[in-house]
Chain A
Amino acid sequence: MTDHAPTGRQLWAALHLLDRQLLDRDGRMAGCVDDIELTTTADGTLYVSAILSGPGVLAPRLGAARFGAWRRRTQQLWANDPDDNTNTDSTGDARHDPTRIPFGRVQAIASHVTLAADSDELASYATERWVRDHIISRLPGSSHAAE
């Protein structure tokens, strides 16, 4: 079938990765694998370099590429808002694509994908985070809602 017998673990990208649930390092749900970024090296080999998850990423797969590009752009502008320091990544870099999760932060792939990251850092969690910070936290009694 191939010129050489592969020695590593084998996966099918669409079957084993696409649309899988993402879990953060604490086991909290953190969105789904909406797409996968592939990067070509100088010798032409293609590697999986990142998981893409969050607003606008799924749209091209549903035939709405222009909407998806617009939504990702607005999300990126929002994430890079200098007045909003809740969206910086773990390195403190405020200028990043929040929908992109480098594959080095993937811990395991099983029936779900476990990340070595907190859901708070991810774009897929942005809407929930915004609702928590701007609406829920302002409700009377919200400070002890979980008690």
Chain B
Amino acid sequence: MQLSELIAARVVDVDGRKVGTVGDVRLIQDGPYLEAFGAALRVEGIIAGRHGLATRLGYHRGDVTGPWLLRTLFRRIEARAHYIPWPHVQRIDQGVIHLNRPLHDLDPLPG
């Protein structure tokens, strides 16, 4: 699988309701050891929702501290986005990511 197959893929919940599209993929460096790099990067989860400029500029991350005006504005716009841990993904079928739980059980964005 390639990252480009995940980015912008449609996401639906266990009942077939639309969650949004994938905006970014969160990676954690805690996998098996690789020679030059160290621990491998593991896919920890995805962000799904209505994305735009905020995601492209990185304002979906919790550790962005400013500028506060932009951060406040983008956080409001991104309020309907969700963070989906990878174990909640049931299958990927023809560009559509199917989740194993309903929309109301999904977490909001981190931060």
Contacts and interface: CB of A to CB of B under 8 A. Distances in A.
Contacts of B23: 14
Q: Number of contact residues on B: which range applies? A: 35 or more
A54 to B, nearest CB: 14
A12 B22 CA distance: 12
A12 B37 contact: no
A43 B72 CA distance: 39
Q: Which of A7, A39, A48 has the largest count of B CB atoms less than 10 A from its CB?
A: A48
B37 A14 contact: no
Interface string A1-27: 111001111111111011000000000
Given A12-B27, A14-B25, A107 B36 contact: yes
Nearest to A33: B3
Interface string B83-101: 1011100000000000000
B3 A12 contact: no
Given A1-B110, A12-B26, 17 more contacts: A2-B45, A2-B85, A3-B85, A6-B44, A8-B39, A11-B27, A12-B61, A13-B3, A14-B23, A15-B61, A38-B3, A39-B1, A45-B31, A45-B43, A48-B43, A103-B40, A116-B36
